[in-house]
Amino acid sequence: MAQLKDAGFAVEMDSSEETLNKRIRNAQLIGFNFIAVVGAKERDSNTVSVRERQQGEEAAKQSVLPVSDFIAQLKSLKTSFK
């Protein structure tokens, strides 16, 4: 989370007692474009499991990648919308 904030991105964390599936579903209902899931495995390998919001009935894209790659992708998207 600190790496994303340091890169200039807005970050929210759900540390509630809800199940992981419930927290992911809540984030989807809110409409976040990206949901980054970091568990023990991801923390230890400095990776992030990313779910990208899709339009319509498409299933959300999901990938696991290094945090630095995720930040690079976000920066690339940010500059493409300027």
**Domains within the chain, CATH numbers bracketed:** 2-80 (3.40.50.800)
Q: What is the mean pLDDT of residues 72-77?
A: 93
Does residue 56 surpass a pLDDT of 70? no
Neighbours of 47 (CB within 10 A): 18
Residue located via tokens 């690079």:
72
CB 51 within 8 A of CB 62: yes
Which carries the bigger pLDDT value, residue 54 or residue 60? 54
The per-residue pLDDT of the chain, averaged, comes to: 89
CB 4 within 8 A of CB 11: yes
pLDDT in tens, 2-41: 899 999 999 999 999 999 999 999 998 998 889 999 988 9
Q: Kindly report the pTM of this predicted structure.
A: 0.81
pLDDT of residue 82: 66
